[in-house]
């Protein structure tokens, strides 16, 4: 996908977007952030700066707040990380490993504290003790101990399932395999999960890269990538040869009633033999937190390990438990980020990339410069309008910024008044990949190739999506090989993947005779394809690459239609009958499927070549398995739609909603015939009245608490 969905990014302030523009941008942001999450968490090869990634997250959040009814089922705000990479066994975390919300200034830090107070029903002036920690720029790791012995270690993965790196972790000397001292007895008889960050010191990073260059190997981009690449080695001996460090920062699971604060947990980790960062301190006010953060930024360059900000955590464990989590982040902690680093250089050229959906994305080719210790030579220019707004021209000196990753962004032109500047950049009106016409669609800022599947750039990228991790997940069909197969003409559509082996013998030069291939590698590829001839309905729907249909939405469709045959027939009926026919109405009644999504599904099924593609693939080449539905009939509120209104006495509104969602209910902001319960507090208004008019069951706060108190939390 590369940078294709940057088209709508920062074109207008969120409050200036129309509903149509907001809907399309949320779709683009969801796809783009999923792409960059996979690069960062799976491949340790990010192509976007921290600052730029954070800005995308912020913009997505801002648009969702303005248009809450447009929030996608696969919203980036509901996701953590990316699916675990291949090559390692999978480990399910005892508790989810969530990401942190960000703060970028003192006002954001104060707002975080106020959110905590509101959630806990505390006065906004309440003094809250927080633990301030350096945010280590490394690889998050989960360590599981049983009776004090290390039994498994895993990466974050998607926050729920990570990669098993146990044997590699045992080679890191600073991680204890047996908890030490008398304190270690506290761990006996229980399973506990310790969490921390694996890192490589700057000094060791320089030594490692020097050695790699002498051997002719590609150097690592930064210490974080070096640490992640070292841990993700199939041979533990390679990991053992790399000097890695570890800082413990907390627990995923551990019960000790004598411990009531986060700083006590850190003290226990030290006693057990874990390294805990020495710069950690307890703060009581926003001013103290800001002072800690500012002092840490001043020390940043002198530290022998990379940091990219501070982390602030509520110190009271009882409050931490009450605060819980929301979507992808805990409510009891926040990450304060450092501002991005910048530098100036010459813009040597502008190149156009064509993405999977045909979007033409401009990329700046820079004279190499070092920013924050990393050499960069390419940067995103986002889209045509962004080039015009900044008046970026070939030959200009431009200011670029990054914050610890590889490819930065162009901030502005440094010398707009320079004599003999080149003329304004003329954005192409034809696709550089196929020569077809390229134009902007109404309501978008993206310039898109109009050729569709006949465009080789789009076709290859659509196949990349088809075989990607969340879809068919076929080993050996990475971007490099997909592009090679397209270049050789042996694959043009996804169907060709499954007929590759049968056609191979008839090729003038079969695969096993290609340069870099052999009979074993060719057969390994074909075996990998054959192993994927059965696929779940949700993954298959996602693999088709239908606009707006991400992984979560695909799963929603699969849960509602259950089988491929049923889904295929109903989608054809909805497409043929148009708006108002029973199949279409049933589709848009599904929670999370709006009219725009329905239109994109209808468009896909209205194209005859798509129907022919499905008919040539399903049944003859692959089998799509029915969707397995988890039985939640044992919970009286699972799947129920609930609405909270009025002021609750024992819980804040946010805590009550979080509790209901944890128990399987669907929390809505409005009352309709589909609502099952309306929970009313003091000063309940129009929602309570509407519930009575519709005959919806109304519960007082204590009645609701009585209903749920015996259910598993």
Active site residues per annotation: 135
Pairing of strands 102-103, 333-337: parallel
Strand partners, 557: none
Give the chain's length: 713
Determine contact, residues 540/571, Cβ cutoff 8 Å.
no
Q: Please give the full DSSP string across 645-692, using - where no structure is assigned.
A: ESB-SSS-HHHHHHHHHHTT-EE-SS--TT--EEEE-BT--HHHHHHH
Helix (H) or strand (E) holding 329: strand 329-330
3-state class of 703 per DSSP? Answer: helix
Pairing of strands 397-402, 341-354: antiparallel
Beta-strand ranges (E) seen in 372-485 are 374-380, 397-402, 409-413, 438-440, 447-449
3-state class of 334 per DSSP? Answer: strand
Q: Burial of 149 by CB count in 10 Å (0-12 exposed, 13-18 middle, 19+ buried)? A: middle
Q: Measuring CA to CA, which residue among 334, 318, 316, 336 is closest to residue 326? A: 334
Pairing of strands 438-440, 534-536: unpaired
CA 713 to chain CA mean position, Å:
26
Measure the CA–CA gap between 277 and 135, rounded to whole angstroms: 10
3-state class of 102 per DSSP? Answer: strand
Paired tokens of 75: 């919203």
Q: Please give the full DSSP string across 478-526, using - where no structure is assigned.
A: -HHHHHHHHHHTS-SSHHHHHHHHHHHTTSSS-GGGSTT--HHHHHHHH
Residues 6+ apart with CB under 8 A from 203: 304
Q: Measuring CA to CA, which residue among 473, 607, 463 is closest to residue 538? A: 473
Q: Measuring CA to CA, which residue among 409, 544, 375, 523 is closest to residue 53? A: 409
Pairing of strands 438-440, 409-413: unpaired
Determine contact, residues 45/225, Cβ cutoff 8 Å.
yes
Measure the CA–CA gap between 538 and 536, rounded to whole angstroms: 6
**3 state SS for 200-241:** CCHHHHHHHHHHHHHHCCCCCCCHHHHHHHHHCCCCHHHHHC
Measure the CA–CA gap between 440 and 447, rounded to whole angstroms: 4
Measure the CA–CA gap between 249 and 278, rounded to whole angstroms: 11
3-state class of 319 per DSSP? Answer: helix
Strand partners, 647: 682
């Amino acid at each position: 996908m590369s940078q294709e969905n940057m088209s709508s990014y920062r074109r207008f302030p969120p409050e200036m977007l129309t509903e149509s523009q907001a809907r399309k941008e949320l779709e683009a942001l969801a796809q783009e952030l999923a792409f960059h999450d996979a690069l960062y968490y799976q491949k340790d090869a990010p192509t976007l700066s921290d600052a730029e990634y954070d800005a995308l997250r912020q913009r997505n959040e801002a648009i969702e707040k303005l248009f809450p009814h447009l929030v996608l089922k696969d919203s980036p705000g509901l996701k953590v990380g990316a699916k675990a990479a291949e090559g390692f066994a999978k480990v399910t975390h005892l508790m989810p490993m969530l990401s942190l919300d960000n703060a970028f200034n003192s006002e954001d830090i104060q707002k975080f504290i106020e959110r905590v107070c509101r959630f806990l029903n505390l006065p906004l002036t309440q003094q809250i003790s927080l633990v301030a920690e350096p945010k280590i720029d490394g690889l998050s790791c989960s360590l599981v101990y049983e009776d004090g012995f290390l039994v498994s270690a895993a990466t974050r993965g998607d926050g729920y399932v990570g990669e098993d790196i146990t044997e590699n972790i045992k080679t890191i000397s600073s991680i204890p395999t047996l908890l030490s001292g008398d304190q270690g007895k506290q761990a006996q008889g229980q399973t506990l999960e310790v969490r921390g960050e694996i890192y490589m010191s700057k000094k060791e990073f320089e030594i490692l890269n020097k050695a790699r260059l002498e051997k002719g190997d590609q150097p690592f981009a930064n210490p974080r990538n070096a640490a992640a690449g070292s841990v993700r080695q199939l041979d533990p001996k390679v990991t053992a040869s790399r000097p890695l460090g570890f800082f413990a920062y907390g627990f995923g699971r551990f019960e000790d009633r004598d411990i009531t604060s986060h700083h006590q947990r850190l003290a226990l980790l030290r006693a057990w033999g874990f390294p805990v960062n020495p710069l950690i301190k307890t703060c009581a006010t926003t001013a103290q937190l800001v002072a800690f953060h500012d002092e840490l930024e001043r020390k940043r360059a002198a530290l022998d390990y990379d940091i990219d900000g501070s982390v602030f955590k509520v110190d009271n464990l009882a409050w931490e438990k009450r605060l819980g989590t929301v979507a992808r982040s805990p409510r009891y902690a926040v990450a304060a980020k450092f501002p991005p680093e910048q530098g100036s250089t010459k813009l040597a050229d502008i190149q156009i990339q064509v993405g999977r959906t045909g979007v033409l994305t401009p990329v700046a080719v820079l004279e190499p410069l070092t920013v924050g210790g990393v050499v960069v030579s390419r940067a995103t220019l986002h889209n045509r309008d962004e080039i015009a707004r900044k008046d970026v021209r070939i030959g200009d000196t431009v200011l670029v910024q990054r914050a610890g990753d590889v490819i930065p962004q162009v901030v502005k032109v440094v010398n707009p008044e320079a004599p003999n500047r080149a003329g304004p950049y003329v954005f192409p009106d034809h696709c550089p990949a196929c020569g077809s016409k390229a134009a902007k669609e109404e309501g978008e800022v993206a310039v898109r190739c109009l050729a569709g599947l006949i465009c080789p750039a789009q076709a290859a990228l659509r196949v990349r999506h088809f075989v990607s991790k969340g879809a068919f997940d076929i080993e050996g069909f990475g971007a490099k090989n997909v592009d090679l197969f397209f270049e050789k003409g042996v694959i043009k559509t996804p169907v060709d993947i499954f007929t590759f082996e049968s056609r191979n013998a008839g090729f003038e030069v079969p695969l096993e005779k290609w340069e870099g291939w052999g009979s074993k590698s060719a057969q390994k590829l074909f075996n990998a394809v054959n192993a994927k001839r059965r696929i779940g309905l949700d993954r298959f729907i996602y693999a088709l690459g239908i606009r707006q249909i991400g992984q979560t939405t695909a799963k929603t469709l699969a849960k509602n239609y259950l089988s491929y045959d049923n889904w295929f027939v109903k989608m054809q009926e909805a497409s043929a009958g148009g708006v108002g026919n029973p199949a279409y109405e049933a589709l848009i009644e599904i929670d999370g499927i709006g009219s725009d999504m329905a239109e994109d599904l209808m468009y896909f099924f209205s194209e005859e070549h798509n129907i022919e593609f499905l008919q040539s693939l399903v049944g003859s080449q692959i089998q799509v398995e029915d969707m397995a539905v988890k039985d939640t009939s044992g919970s009286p509120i699972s799947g129920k739609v609930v609405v909270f209104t009025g002021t609750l006495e024992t819980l804040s509104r946010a805590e009550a909603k979080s509790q209901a969602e944890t128990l399987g209910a669907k929390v809505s902001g409005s009352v309709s015939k589909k609502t099952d319960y309306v929970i009313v507090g003091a000063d309940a208004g129009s929602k309570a009245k509407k519930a009575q008019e519709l005959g919806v069951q109304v519960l007082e706060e204590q009645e609701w608490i009585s209903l749920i108190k015996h259910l598993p939390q």
